[in-house]
Amino acid sequence: MRQITYIFAATIFTMALCLALTAPSAEGARHMASSEPAPAQAAAPAPVAAVSKDQEYLAIVNDAITGKDADWQKIRDLYVHTSFYDPYGGAQAIWYMLQRAGQQVVYEKSQEAMQEYNTLLAQHYAHYRSHMQALDMIEKGHLPQTEKAAHAKAMSAIISSIIATGDGKTPETAFRVIDPAEENIVLKTYFHYTLVSQEFRQKEGHFWDVLNYTNPNNKDDTGSLYFNVDTILTAPHRNQN
């Protein structure tokens, strides 16, 4: 009987020792707990991408291209906030870009070249220079004659939208332009004046180009036209869209 008791006690001791050796320590328990994966968190909904100024501008330009009524003042206002707008020398750059793209259309006669040309044309649709270049392409037979009326209408609408911003007689009623080249278009194409001299003026954070003119049909008809160039000189950093 005593031998059985010793055997039973030895068995209990052995089992307890095994449990002690296999059980994790307090530090080990903490490590195991920290190693367990955290419950999955519900994914946050993806933010809806805001429509960029480039996209907004191209959408309204597309309406104009397809023949819908166009708010040209809105088109021009949007244009100056796009990555396409260059306030410094834009007219010349636009002409050369379209000229190069137009040459590719002429020489390659491919859909890709035509697409590139049309893309540039849309990007600068608010600028009179793009329509002048397109009209030049049409005149040379490189674009369909059927497109002539649309570009001529756009040119007229752009000039009209400038004229609608003031009367040009004073700084307060100056015509608002988005490119210095527009000043000569208004002076020569709309009023048919001859430029005599030009001045730059500024006051209280506003800027003007003043074009002094004479009327070639009446030498006694002289004066000045004011053009507000705030948009050009205070344009935000480009290529942010």
Say if 201 falls within a structural domain: yes
- Helix (H) or strand (E) holding 158, with range, is helix 148-163
Give the start-end residues of each E strand in the chain. Answer: 175-176, 194-203, 206-215, 218-228
Say yes or no: 137 and 104 in one domain: yes
**pLDDT exceeds 50 at position 50:** yes
Say yes or no: 144 and 192 in one domain: no
Q: What are phi and psi of 22, to 5 degrees?
A: -90, -20
Range of the domain at 140: 53-163
pLDDT for residue 90: 84
pLDDT tens digits, 177-222:
999 999 999 999 999 999 999 999 999 999 999 999 999 999 899 9
Say yes or no: 135 and 211 in one domain: no
Average pLDDT over residues 118-145: 96
- What is the percentage of the chain residues whose pLDDT exceeds 70? 76
Cα dihedral across residues 137, 140, 141, 144: positive or negative: positive
Average pLDDT over residues 127-134: 96
Say yes or no: 98 and 137 in one domain: yes
Say if 215 falls within a structural domain: yes
Nearest 5°: the CA angle 77, 79, 84 is: 160
- What is the percentage of the chain residues whose pLDDT exceeds 90? 71
Say if 100 falls within a structural domain: yes
Say yes or no: 154 and 202 in one domain: no
- Residue finishing a domain among 106, 133, 163: 163
Predicted confidence band at 23 (pLDDT cuts at 50, 70, 90)?
Answer: very low
Q: How far apart are CA 160 and CA 121, in angstroms?
A: 20
Say if 96 falls within a structural domain: yes
Say yes or no: 190 and 135 in one domain: no
pLDDT for residue 20: 41
Say yes or no: 153 and 217 in one domain: no
- Helix (H) or strand (E) holding 129, with range, is helix 128-139
**pLDDT exceeds 70 at position 9:** no
- Number of domains composing the chain: 2
Predicted confidence band at 19 (pLDDT cuts at 50, 70, 90)?
Answer: very low
Say if 241 falls within a structural domain: no
Say if 21 falls within a structural domain: no
- Residue finishing a domain among 163, 188, 220: 163
Say yes or no: 189 and 117 in one domain: no
Say yes or no: 146 and 186 in one domain: no
pLDDT for residue 52: 92
**pLDDT exceeds 50 at position 119:** yes
pLDDT for residue 89: 75
pLDDT tens digits, 95-114:
999 999 999 999 999 999 99
Alpha carbon 131 to chain centroid, angstroms: 19
- Show the tokens assigned to 179: 């490119």
Say yes or no: 100 and 200 in one domain: no
pLDDT for residue 45: 53
- Show the tokens assigned to 195: 């430029």
| Range in 25-39, 52-66, 161-175 the model is least confident about | 25-39
Laid out side by side, the sheet with 175-176 consists of: 175-176, 218-228, 206-215, 194-203
Average pLDDT for the chain: 83
Say yes or no: 191 and 155 in one domain: no
Say yes or no: 125 and 204 in one domain: no
Say if 43 falls within a structural domain: no
- Residue finishing a domain among 163, 197, 217: 163
Say if 91 falls within a structural domain: yes
User: How far does the chain reach from its first CA to its final CA, in angstroms?
Assistant: 94
pLDDT for residue 235: 80
